[in-house]
């Protein structure tokens, strides 16, 4: 279980998160919602050990994240960042194989690693493009390969920063169904930054909302995904549409 206790986060001139206490359990799928600049990425980084909080503690199964060796932590918590920051000149398969590094024992790539990488590409519908150079793929295809690398890493807790970027509508739904299966069927914990309230309400069972001045709401999606909460969160009028599978919210 990933736990945050008394978590405070800020950037110069702005408090992003104040006194956050949450526990993300195996089998749960969490969505982080908030306006641009509200601190969603910063919070995801703190909860995955990529950023030291201003105050408070983040732990995995009772052990503070800084106490884990980096390779061991990577076997427990996997991160899909919003931006790569560099070009990768190898093939899609070679890129996905990078996800196997936390499991390596110094003997290079094994047949098991390649099987895991190909299986991950199959899960995102990219196995037939495994030989393609990554930079020749479209933005959406590259995003699916990036998700495949995280699948090949096979952590216990998945932290994804805008996993739906560049994906068309059909592939957005497929990606979210895949992530939901990881939680529900395989007992993984999933935490992801989302912008679409429709997807968050449909596929997340828990929600974390980042408001101004460090105020945070966290809890059941069924309780928090209300017109009042979302209009205050995004500071715009919304229209609630009720369907047989739940309510959805669109700009008024």
What average pLDDT does the segment 116-145 reach? 95
Tell me: pLDDT of 10 over 80: yes
* pLDDT of amino acid 180: 96
**What's the chain's average pLDDT?**
93
pLDDT band of residue 57 (cuts 50, 70, 90) is very high
CB burial of residue 155 (10 Å; 0-12, 13-18, 19+)? buried
Structural class in CATH, domain 2-87+155-251: alpha beta
What average pLDDT does the segment 31-47 reach? 96
Helical (H) or strand (E) element with 40: helix 40-47
* pLDDT of amino acid 248: 84
* pLDDT of amino acid 211: 95
What average pLDDT does the segment 59-77 reach? 94
Tell me: pLDDT of 162 over 70: yes
β 206-210/29-34 pair status: parallel
Share of the chain above pLDDT 90, in %: 84
Considering Cα of 101, then 103, then 150, then 109, what sign does the dihedral take? positive
Q: For the stretch 104-143, what's the b/e string if a residue is b when 16 or more beta carbons lie within 10 angstroms of its beta carbon?
A: eeeeeeeeebbebbbebbebbebbebbeeebeebeeebbb
Tell me: pLDDT of 106 over 70: no
What average pLDDT does the segment 135-153 reach? 96
pTM: 0.93
Tell me: pLDDT of 37 over 80: yes
Domain map of the chain by residue range? 2-87+155-251
* pLDDT of amino acid 226: 94
DSSP code, position 36 = T
Share of the chain above pLDDT 70, in %: 98
φ/ψ of 69, rounded to 5, equals -60, 145
pLDDT band of residue 243 (cuts 50, 70, 90) is confident
* pLDDT of amino acid 83: 82
pLDDT band of residue 130 (cuts 50, 70, 90) is very high
φ/ψ of 12, rounded to 5, equals -50, 120
Residue 209 near residue 17 (C-beta atoms within 8 A): no
What average pLDDT does the segment 97-104 reach? 91
């Amino acid at each position: 279980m990933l736990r945050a206790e008394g978590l405070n986060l800020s950037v110069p001139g702005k408090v992003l998160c104040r006194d956050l206490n949450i526990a993300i359990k195996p089998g749960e799928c969490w969505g982080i919602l908030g306006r641009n600049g509200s601190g969603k990425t910063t919070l995801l980084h703190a909860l995955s050990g990529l950023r030291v909080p201003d105050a408070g503690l983040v732990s995995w199964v009772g052990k503070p994240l800084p106490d884990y060796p980096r390779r061991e932590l990577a076997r427990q918590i996997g991160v899909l960042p919003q931006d790569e920051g560099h070009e990768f000149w190898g093939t899609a398969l070679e890129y996905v194989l990078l996800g196997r590094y936390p499991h390596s024992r110094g003997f290079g790539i094994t047949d098991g690693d390649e099987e895991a990488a190909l299986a991950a590409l199959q899960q995102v519908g990219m196995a037939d493009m495994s030989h393609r150079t990554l930079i020749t793929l479209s933005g959406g295809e590259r995003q699916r390969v990036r998700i495949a690398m995280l699948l090949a890493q096979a952590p216990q807790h998945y932290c994804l920063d805008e996993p739906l970027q560049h994906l068309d509508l059909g592939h957005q739904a497929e990606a979210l169904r895949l992530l939901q299966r990881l939680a529900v069927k395989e007992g993984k914990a999933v935490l992801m930054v989302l912008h679409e309230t429709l997807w968050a309400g449909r596929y997340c069972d828990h929600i974390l909302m980042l408001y101004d001045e460090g105020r945070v709401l966290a809890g059941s999606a069924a309780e928090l995904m209300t017109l009042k909460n979302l209009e205050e969160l995004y500071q715009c009028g919304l229209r609630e549409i009720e369907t047989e599978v739940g309510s959805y919210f669109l700009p008024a």
